[in-house]
Every structure is written in C-alpha cells, then in structure tokens.
C-alpha cells in the first residue's frame, strides 16, 4: 500500500488527471446503474414512472436502505454482520407486539437490543473474534427470540408507525424523500464529522489510529451500536409497511444489505464506504429485484439471480475502471 | 501423564470433550436410556457436516477473506441434479453421483473464476454466485418432490453393528484429507498460502492453481454432500443445504482451525460436527421449544468461539 502511494506522488500530471477521471467514473457507477435500471423500467412500462408508480415500486425500499446503512457501518470497521436479516425480523416481531401493547417495554427491549450489538462489538474487539462466526451465531439467537415472541405470523403495527409510513407528501413520493433524508443524515455523520473520520479510519488503518491515541474498542462499539440502531429503524419501517409481522420476515435482508453496500461503491476492507452509494445500491436492488423483472416478464424464480447478476456486472465494470485508475 | 498433557495441547481435543460432555448430560437426563442410539444418529448426521466442513476448512486455510458462502445453494442444486439424473432408478446411482460431483465442481470453478477475473473478495464472489445458483435450483427443481432410488436411500441409511457405513467411509475420507493436508505438496501449499501468500508465491508455489483447485474441491464436496443428503432424507429440496452455511464455518472454527488461515485441523472437524449434532439432540431431548433451541444453539456457538478466541478475524 505504501509503495503504491509513493508511486502515486511520482506520477506525471497527465496520468494523475486520467486517474482522477477514473475515480470520478467509479464514484458515479452506483448512480449510473440506478439510472440504467430506471431507464429500462421507463422503456418497458412508461406508466410506472409516475408518483403512484414510484410509491408502489419503492414501497419496500426504505427498510432495505436502512438495513444496508446498518451493514455499511460494520463494513466500514472491516467487519461483517451476517445476523442483520434475522435481527430485522426480531425487531419486527417486537414492533408488532410489545411496542403496540406495552410501549415502554417495547422501547426498553429495542434499546436493549442495540446495547447487545454494542456488547458484541466490544466482545469481537477484545477477544479478537471473527465477526462472521459471531454474527452467524447471533442470527440464530435473534431468530429464536423472534419465534418466541411471535410463534405465528400476526401482530399489528402501532398506529403512529402506520401513519408515518403511509405519509403522502405532494409531488415527490415518500420513499424517495425518505431515501434522500437517510443518505443525507448518514453522509453528514460519517463523512463530514471528525468522529466519522475516526470511525472510518478504524477500518482504514487501525494501527495508526491506535498510535494516535484513539480507542479502537470505542470505535468498534460505536460502529456496532449504529448497526443495531439502523437495524431497529429498518425493522420498524418494515412493519409500518407490512402492518403485521412474521419471525422470518427479514431473513433476505442479510444478503441484500451486503450486496447494497458493495453495489454502492463500498469496499470490504479499508473503511472505504459511501452512505449515499449504499442508499442508491439499496434502491437499485429494490427496483431491479421485482418491478423490472415483472415488466420484463421474467418469472419470480429468477429474482434472486438478477440480484447476483447485477452485482457481478457492476463489479466487473468497477474492475475495468480501476484498471485505468492504477 | 506426559501423553495426557500432550493430548490436551491438541486443539481438536476440546471439541471432542464438548461432544462427550453434551452426550453425558443427555444420558444423565434420560437415565442412561438411548445412549447408543444417540451416537448412531449423531454419527449419521455429523457425516454431512464433516464433508462440507472439510471443504470449507481447506478454503478458510487459504488465508484471511477466503470463505465459501455458496455451499448451501450448491448443496441444494446438486441434490436436485443427483435425484433427477438417478430418476428413481438403481442402475443410475453412479451416474447421478458423478453428475452431482460435476455440478459441485463447476460451481467451485465458477466461484474461483469470479474471484480471479473480477478481483473481488471471495465472500462477495461466492455470495453473488450463490444468488444465481439458488435461482437455477428453484427453477430447475420446482414443484418436484424428487425421490432417490431405493438402493441409494438404503445405502445412505445403511448401518453395520449400529455404525452407519457412510460414517465409516467419511472417516476414511477425512484420514485421506489429513494426509493430503499434512503430507502432500498440495496441502503444504495451501498452508503456505494461508500463512503468507507472497512468501508462498516467491517460494515457487503456483498460487493461482492451488486456489483454483481448493475452491473446486470445496464445490465438489458440496455437490457430493447434496447427493448424499437427498439419499439420506429420501428427497431433494431447495432448502436442504440451508443449515450448512453456519455449520460448515462453525465446525471449522470450533475444531481448532485458524480463521486467519495457514493452520488447519482435520480431526477437530469431526469433534465439532459431533458436538453440534449432539447439542441439537440434547436440546430436543430436554423438550425445549424451537425458539429456545435456536437461542441456545446461537449462544453456545458464540460462547465456544469466545472461549476458543484469540485469533485474527476472517478478513
């Protein structure tokens, strides 16, 4: 890595300009893939590009975007959360039962679950554990708890949550406003504040950060707690849309959230993530998964494959661009 | 005494001790009833975890970041392919097994192709591949409850003196895997790559070929596992491999293989697989509900890993 940066400094200005162009192209890639999917939808079914069409197509985009942001926080610390899907399901079950019937208990349980995430971060750091295995284990715990809370699909979302999610602003559909808001808030927090830099630095160069006097234990705890917080928001948003819960409701979110982060230009290591990209990635996946395929008359069997194919195509494009960046 | 101390320093001993402890706890609960039958059942179920566990172990040993997340999808597709090729016909068993093997190998090779061509972390490569495999499986095996040929189902459930034949064969296979790992150029190369990929390359190890071979091997083991599972449970379905994602990674880690790569342990995979299966049996014997069973399984896995801990993360 250091050799590469020294080399960077010695480069002539023309190659540096070409590299800057490639980097720019690379950061535009998430937006380009979203635009491509939107254009395909517009071409196949022009009527879908309307207020009503977007509200319908992006219906589930808010919880997916929130789960993707949750995943992005752990990834920026070089970890991975394979339990986010079942955690969203657990939050959903709590939201549809306790949060409605006994709001105080519900709030306490949800706050406690964020605390559990913070503890996991501490555990993973202190014992130097592989986060993949720990969170895989935790995915069983969340699923088990969800089944204990809600053995059969059911429950009901609190009324205030239903009215928030049913909000119909003028001109721009609610999912788009919500996505913009989420992206802006997280972008400011993680990319523009000084502690955000420290958080990303814990994934970029942990040793340097530690020598500069920052607590790596604290950054890990904060990153995991933020993952828990956005996981809770995702579960609540999901129940606000579906109105009732099921213990398995969030299971698909683990893979979707990882795919969304990577689609949005995030890297697995090095603290290189992009909140705006992550939200765009989540929207692309939400649109490409069902509406696009339905318009193309592709059977639902191939929805999962479409996610995989999009991921591979975008990564291939990124490799082509990165080759020029070098 | 010294030999006992020697034994305690082996990383795999703990998983066997854990399995023994769980078994004793269950026997104490039932008052000694069904202890033998429990071992028979545990052996026959552990086989499937051991086979994919060994594949996952080789992949994880390649070093940080190497893990195969496509195993569940691979197992699902291979089970469907095997059952369709066999078509309930005893004479087609060998062909069906070969088809499952070829299917698994193709998936493993495709995984490595993605890693190599797109230069992406194996986690994402195998994840994207698993999306596609899953869809192929859903549309290929849709609506079909495909039954194995009677001969194959009998073979997968065959026992001699209470010991499943499949378990005996798997013991032979794991001995072979241990020899390949510790005494053959291939295994030593895998360990060398896991310890330091650059040093291995400078020492003349053909890194690309060894990695390709390892992913293909892991895929092939997943394919065989799918066929055997379909035989044992008398039918293939899309979800048949789902539990083997956690199981394959967990047995590798609990069994004493380093998640940072470069240090593998074959006997530990057996111990850990028996531990996990017996744990499930114990919780079922205690009569706990599904929810409690899931919570306890998760907590025990996290607990065991915390106790074993002290190694560098997967990536």
Instruction: Output the domain CATH number for residue B46.
Output: 1.10.3470
Residue B184 has pLDDT above 50, yes or no: yes
DSSP-based three-state secondary structure for A246: coil
**Closest C-alpha among B311, B288, B125 to residue B219:** B125
Least confident interval from A98-102, A180-184, B37-41, B289-293:
B37-41
Residue A2 has pLDDT above 50, yes or no: no
Average pLDDT over residues A72-101: 92
What pLDDT, on a 0 to 100 scale, did the predictor assign at position A66? 95
Residue A8 has pLDDT above 60, yes or no: no
Q: Is residue A321 part of a domain?
A: no
Nearest CA in chain A to B69: A255
- Tell me the shortest Cα–Cα distance from B283 to chain A, in angstroms: 13
Would the CA dihedral through B182, B188, B190, B191 be positive or negative?
positive
Residue B144, domain extent: 13-21+34-308
Percentage of residues in chain B with pLDDT exceeding 90?
Answer: 25
**Do B295 and A128 count as a contact with CB atoms less than 8 A apart?**
no
Average pLDDT over residues B48-52: 93
What pLDDT, on a 0 to 100 scale, did the predictor assign at position B314? 44
β-pair partners for A151: none
Could you say which of A127, A147, A316 has the minimum Cβ distance to residue B306?
Answer: A127
- Number of folded domains that form chain A: 1
Using alpha carbons, list the distances in angstroms from residue A249 to A242, A303, B186, B275.
10, 17, 44, 30
**Do B302 and A147 count as a contact with CB atoms less than 8 A apart?**
no
Q: ∠B214-B215-B217 over CA atoms, to 5°?
A: 65
Task: Report d(CA B133, CA B127) in Å as an integer.
Answer: 10
Q: Which distant-in-sequence residues (6+ apart) come within 8 Å of A249 by Cβ?
A: A88, A89, A92, A238, A242
Q: Is residue B4 part of a domain?
A: no
End-to-end CA distance of chain A: 12
- Number of folded domains that form chain B: 1
β-pair partners for A154: A245
Place of tokens 């995702």: A234
Task: Report d(CA B151, CA B64) in Å as an integer.
Answer: 42
Q: Is residue A127 part of a domain?
A: yes
CA dihedral A172, A175, A179, A181 (to 10 degrees): 60
User: Cβ contacts (< 8 Å) between B250 and chain A: which residues?
Assistant: 133, 136-137
Q: Is residue B8 part of a domain?
A: no
Q: How far is CA A215 from the centre of its chain?
A: 25
- Tell me the shortest Cα–Cα distance from B152 to chain A, in angstroms: 30
Residue B14 has pLDDT above 60, yes or no: yes
Could you say which of B128, B253, B289 has the minimum Cβ distance to residue A312?
Answer: B128
What pLDDT, on a 0 to 100 scale, did the predictor assign at position B58? 92
Chain mean pLDDT for chain A: 86
Instruction: Yes or no: say if A42 and A36 are a contact pair by the CB < 8 Å rule.
Output: no
User: Cβ contacts (< 8 Å) between B65 and chain A: which residues?
Assistant: 268-269
DSSP-based three-state secondary structure for A200: helix
Q: Is residue B96 part of a domain?
A: yes
What pLDDT, on a 0 to 100 scale, did the predictor assign at position B309? 60
Nearest CA in chain A to B260: A130
Task: Report d(CA A68, CA A284) in Å as an integer.
Answer: 12
Could you say which of B121, B131, B297 has the minimum Cβ distance to residue A140?
Answer: B297
Q: What is the ipTM of this complex?
A: 0.82
In a mutational test of the B interface, the residue from A311, A316, A319, A320 whose CB has the highest number of chain B CBs within 10 Å is A311
Task: Report d(CA A265, CA A76) in Å as an integer.
Answer: 12
- By the 10 Å C-beta count (0-12 exposed, 13-18 middle, 19+ buried), B69 is classed as buried
Over residues A251-305, the pLDDT tens digits come to 888 888 988 898 888 877 777 888 999 999 999 888 877 677 777 777 777 777 8
Over residues A117-134, the pLDDT tens digits come to 999 999 999 988 888 889
pLDDT category at A218 given cuts 50, 70, 90 is very high
Residue A64 has pLDDT above 90, yes or no: yes
A·B CB contacts under 8 A: 160
User: Cβ contacts (< 8 Å) between B132 and chain A: which residues?
Assistant: 304-305, 308-309
**Do A136 and B289 count as a contact with CB atoms less than 8 A apart?**
no
pLDDT category at B313 given cuts 50, 70, 90 is very low
Instruction: Yes or no: say if A41 and A292 are a contact pair by the CB < 8 Å rule.
Output: yes
Could you say which of A131, A136, A145 has the minimum Cβ distance to residue B291?
Answer: A145
What pLDDT, on a 0 to 100 scale, did the predictor assign at position B101? 94
Average pLDDT over residues A211-225: 93
Residue A220 has pLDDT above 90, yes or no: yes
What pLDDT, on a 0 to 100 scale, did the predictor assign at position B245? 85
Least confident interval from A124-138, A188-202, B20-34, B285-299:
B20-34
Token couple for B88 = 């309930």
Average pLDDT over residues B136-150: 76
Would the CA dihedral through A61, A64, A70, A74 be positive or negative?
negative
The CATH number linked to A116 is 1.10.3470
Using alpha carbons, list the distances in angstroms from residue A258 to A84, A112, A284, A287, B153.
10, 24, 13, 16, 38
Q: Is residue B245 part of a domain?
A: yes
Could you say which of B128, B135, B293 has the minimum Cβ distance to residue A311?
Answer: B128
Chain mean pLDDT for chain B: 85
Task: Report d(CA B185, CA B256) in Å as an integer.
Answer: 22
Over residues A314-325, the pLDDT tens digits come to 788 877 777 665
In a mutational test of the A interface, the residue from B276, B295, B307, B312 whose CB has the highest number of chain A CBs within 10 Å is B295
Q: Is residue B314 part of a domain?
A: no
What pLDDT, on a 0 to 100 scale, did the predictor assign at position A264? 86
């Amino acid at each position: 890595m250091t050799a590469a940066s020294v080399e960077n400094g010695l480069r002539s200005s023309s190659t540096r300009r070409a590299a800057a162009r490639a980097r720019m192209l690379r950061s535009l890639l998430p937006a380009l893939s979203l635009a491509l999917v939107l254009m395909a939808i517009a071409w196949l079914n022009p009527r879908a590009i309307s207020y009503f069409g977007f509200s319908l197509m992006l219906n589930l985009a808010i919880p997916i975007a929130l789960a993707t942001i949750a995943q992005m926080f752990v990834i920026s610390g070089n970890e991975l959360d394979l339990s986010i899907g079942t955690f969203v399901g657990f939050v959903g079950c709590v939201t549809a039962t306790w949060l409605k019937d006994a709001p105080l208990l519900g709030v306490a349980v949800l706050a406690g679950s964020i605390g559990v995430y913070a503890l996991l971060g501490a555990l993973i750091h202190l014992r130097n554990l592989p986060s993949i295995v720990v969170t895989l284990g935790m995915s069983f715990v969340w699923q088990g708890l969800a089944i204990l809370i809600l053995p059969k699909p059911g429950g009901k979302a609190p009324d205030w949550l239903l009215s928030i999610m049913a909000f119909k602003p003028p001109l721009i559909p609610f999912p788009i406003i919500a996505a913009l808001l989420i992206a802006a808030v997280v972008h400011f927090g993680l990319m523009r504040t000084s502690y955000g830099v420290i958080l990303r630095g814990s994934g970029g160069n942990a040793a340097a950060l530690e020598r500069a006097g920052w607590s790596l234990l604290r950054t890990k705890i904060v990153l995991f707690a933020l993952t828990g917080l956005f996981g809770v928001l995702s579960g609540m948003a999901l129940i606000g849309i579906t109105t009732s819960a099921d213990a398995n409701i969030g299971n698909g979110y683990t893979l979707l959230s990882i795919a969304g982060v990577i689609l949005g230009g995030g890297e697995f290591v090095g603290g290189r993530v992009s909140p705006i990209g992550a939200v765009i990635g989540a929207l692309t996946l939400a649109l490409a998964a069902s509406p696009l395929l339905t318009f193309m008359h592709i059977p639902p069997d191939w929805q999962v494959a479409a996610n995989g194919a999009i991921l591979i195509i975008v990564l291939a494009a990124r490799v082509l661009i990165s080759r020029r960046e070098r | 005494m010294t030999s006992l101390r020697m034994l305690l320093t082996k990383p795999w001993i703990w998983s066997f001790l854990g399995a023994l402890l769980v078994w004793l706890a269950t026997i104490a609960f039932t008052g000694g009833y069904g202890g033998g039958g429990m071992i028979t059942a545990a052996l026959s179920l552990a086989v499937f975890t051991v086979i994919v566990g060994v594949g996952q172990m080789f992949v994880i040993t390649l070093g940080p970041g190497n893990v195969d997340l496509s195993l569940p999808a691979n197992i699902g597709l291979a089970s469907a392919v095997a059952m369709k090729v066999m078509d309930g016909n005893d004479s087609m068993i060998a062909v069906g097994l070969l088809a499952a093997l070829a299917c698994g190998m193709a998936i493993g090779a495709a995984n490595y192709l993605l890693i190599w061509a797109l230069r992406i972390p194996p986690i994402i490569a195998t994840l994207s591949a698993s999306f596609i495999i899953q869809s192929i499986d859903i549309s290929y095996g849709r609506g079909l409850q495909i039954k194995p040929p009677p001969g194959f189902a009998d073979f997968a459930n065959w026992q001699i003196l209470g010991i499943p034949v499949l378990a005996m064969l798997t013991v032979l296979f794991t001995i072979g895997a241990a020899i390949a790992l510790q005494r053959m150029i291939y295994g030593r190369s895998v360990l060398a790559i896991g310890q330091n990929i650059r040093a291995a390359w400078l020492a003349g190890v053909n890194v690309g070929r060894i990695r390709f071979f390892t992913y293909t091997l892991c895929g092939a083991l997943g394919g065989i596992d799918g066929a055997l599972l379909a035989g044992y449970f008398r039918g293939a379905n899309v979800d048949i491999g789902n539990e083997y994602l956690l199981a394959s990674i967990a047995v590798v880690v609990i069994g004493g293989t380093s998640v940072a790569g470069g240090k593998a342990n074959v006997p530990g995979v057996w111990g850990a697989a028996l531990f996990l299966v017996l744990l499930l049996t114990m919780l079922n014997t205690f009569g706990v509900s599904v929810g409690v069973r899931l919570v306890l399984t998760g907590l025990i896995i996290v607990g065991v890993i915390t106790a074993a801990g002290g190694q560098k993360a997967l990536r």
